[in-house]
Amino acid sequence: MSPTFEDLGLHKGVLSALDQVGYTAPTEIQADGIPPMLDGRDMVAQAPTGTGKTAAFGCLLAHETTPEEGTQALVLTPTRELARQVADEIESLCQVRGQRVLTIYGGVGYKPQIDGLERGSEIVVGTPGRIRDLIERGDFDASTCETVVLDEADRMLDMGFIEDVSWIVDHTRRDRQSLLFSATIPPGVEHLADEFCHQPANLAVGDTTKDEDRPEYLVRVGKRNRAWALERILETEQPDLAFVFCRTRHRTEKIAGLLDGHGYNAEPIQGGMSQNARERVMGRVREGDVDILVGTNVLARGIDVRRCELVVNYQPPRDPEDYIHRVGRTARMQDVGAAYTIATDEDTRAIVEIEGHTGASLTEIDVPETSQDDKITKIDDWEEKADPMGRVHFRIRGVTDSSRMDVFWYLVDNAGVSQADLGQVAEEDDGLIVKVRHDAAGRLQDHLHKNGVLGRDVDVSIATPE
Ligand code: ADP
Ligand code: MG
């Protein structure tokens, strides 16, 4: 039989807090992870997205720290929004015992954080930059921290963070308990983890790559038609809330603006926005006032909004691990949700890497059909259809009895294409092949459809070799 929270040996105050939060039974990572942590073991824990890793270490901190005895625990996260969310969850687990949880991150004023430290707080949660800053300034004495948690540990140990993280950890107690959590612990991170931990318990539960409640689709389009595909996906899925991921800050703004202009309630979130604006957006998302949140990877890690029923990768992520985290924003716990990745030919390699490195398997589907008119119309992407010389090949059937030169001059005189746009007309088994520069291809196709050739209706198809 699976254990109850009582069986795990948690403090009475924590048990009644769990009761108030409404968690009736521990999840797998909680059931397996809490006992060794209570024994004081260091731990490297891997469990899928949305399976309650926060409460796993949150219960430990709520159990282990004592009110009014100074800062005893430090939790580091990669983003400010995640720090906020993790602090809220820990605070709710401490609501009965009364430990204070303080968040420390950049982009907001120092004063409230310094005041908070002066008043005292048993648990500090934050991002590395500001925490290091406050330690250097002498405002935060981390040397009393007995427990250090790296949430999203693989991210905290990668190049962007590791220097600050090591520096901070070196300023905590030498005999501290170190706990590393993530849905992804790539092999390269394991040996780094050993530097932070002392003979850690290595725990891996669940299957990180498969969530029965979350189909994962791959939709291929030409590079000018990502937005069209996105709209079709949104219309098909009709999610309560969707997260759309882009690679750049600029793109999140553009896509959110585009969706907004087409009647969607969409907001961007990206690291170039003021922290105030970021928090306003997240607040509105949690209140249910935003339908589509378009973000960079700031949104990829840890964010838990149960209303999110759809994740769309407008572009696949550069880092394969991020794929797992992005799609993990939906179908959390027993919830359902779907994940789509929009990809062009240029993304083929990224998709291969995602499938190879993470074991994810994406089901390729056509751009979904919808019953109503497209809000974002499909663009004829002639460049995508052109040969390496930039020419689109049309196969024209129905005029084989006309000479190739007659057809050539007819098109130059009537179809809005110049001599320079057109290549020689060639004959092929059952038709003529006309090659035209991609920027004139739309005009040519329109003419062929409307007026045919030399007064005759023709059958037109694209014949550019693959
Ligand atoms: P992870 O960090 O593993 O991605 P989270 O800690 O964000 O997952 O938890 C995912 C969701 O599960 C949250 O909404 C949280 O409130 C909920 N949750 C966590 N533990 C339990 C539990 N024991 N019972 C019910 N819900 C839980
Ligand atoms: Mg988490």
Tens-digit pLDDT profile for residues 88-142: 999 999 999 999 999 999 999 999 999 999 999 999 999 999 999 999 999 999 9
Least confident of 1-15, 140-154, 195-209: 195-209
CATH fold of 382-462 reads: Alpha-Beta Plaits (3.30.70)
- Give residue for tokens 């720290």: 65
Mutating to test ligand 1, I would choose from 8, 21, 51 the residue with most ligand atoms within 8 A of its C-beta, which is: 51
Task: Considering only residues 382 and 354, tell me which one the structure prediction assigns the higher pLDDT.
Answer: 354
Does ligand 1 lie within 6 Å of residue 333's CB atom?
A: yes
- pLDDT tens-digit map of 380-436: 888 888 899 999 999 999 887 788 999 999 999 999 999 999 988 998 877 899 999
Q: Are 226 and 232 in contact (CB under 8 A)?
A: no
The pLDDT value given to residue 1: 72
CA pair distance 272, 68, nearest whole angstrom: 38
Name the residue among 384, 367, 349 with its Cα closest to residue 466: 384
Give the pLDDT mean for 241-250. 98
What pLDDT, on a 0 to 100 scale, did the predictor assign at position 6?
97
Atom index in ligand 1 nearest the CA of residue 333 equals 12
Instruction: Output the DSSP codes for 204-220.
Output: E-S-SS--TT--EEEEE
Nearest CA, atom 19, ligand 1? 52
Q: How large is the average pLDDT for residues 190-203?
A: 90
**Residues 153, 155, 159, 163: what is their CA dihedral angle, to the nearest 10 degrees?**
-40
Nearest 5°: CA angle at 215, between 214 and 218?
135
CA of 452 to the centre of ligand 2 (A): 61
Confidence of residue 209 (pLDDT cuts 50, 70, 90): low
Q: Which-ligand-closest: CA of 33?
A: 1
Q: What is the percentage of the chain residues whose pLDDT exceeds 90?
A: 85
Mean pLDDT computed over 54-60: 98
Question: Hey, which of 8, 14, 19, 23 would you mutate to test ligand 1's pocket, going by the most ligand atoms within 8 Å of its Cβ?
Answer: 23
- Span from the CA of 152 to the centroid of ligand 2 (angstroms): 7
| Eight-state DSSP code of residue 144 | G
- Tokens at residue 357, please? 């490195």
Dist. CA 180 → ligand 2 center (Å): 11
Q: Which fold has domain 6-204?
A: Rossmann fold (3.40.50)
User: 3-state DSSP call for residue 150?
Assistant: strand
223-365 and 6-204 share a CATH fold: yes
User: Which tens digit of pLDDT belongs to each residue from 157-190?
Assistant: 999 999 999 999 999 999 999 999 999 999 888 8
Model confidence pTM above 0.85:
yes
CATH code assigned to 223-365 = 3.40.50.300
For residues 437 and 447, give the distance between their C-alpha atoms in angstroms, rounded to a whole number: 15
- pLDDT score at 28: 96
Q: In this predicted structure, what is the pLDDT of residue 464?
A: 84
Spatial contact of 156 and 76, defined as CB atoms under 8 Å apart: yes
Domain ranges (residues) in the chain? 6-204, 223-365, 382-462
The predicted structure's pLDDT at residue 383: 84
Strand pairing class (391-397; 431-437):
antiparallel
pLDDT tens digits, 431-451: 899 999 999 999 999 999 999
Counting ligands in written order, the one closest to the CA of 153 is 2
The reply to whether ligand 1 has any atom less than 6 angstroms from the CB of 306 is yes
329 CB under 6 A from ligand 1?
no
Query: Relative to the CA of 29, which ligand 1 atom is closest?
Result: 3
**How many A from CA of 24 to the centre of ligand 2?**
19
Structure tokens at 190: 């394991």
> Of 173-177, 221-225, 230-234, which gets the smallest average pLDDT?
221-225
Among 61, 332, 335, 336, residue to substitute to test ligand 1 (most atoms within 8 Å of Cβ): 332
Given a contact cutoff of 8 angstroms between Cβ atoms, the answer to whether 223 and 346 are in contact is yes
pLDDT of amino acid 452: 93
Please give the number of the atom of ligand 1 that sits closest to the Cα of 48: 3
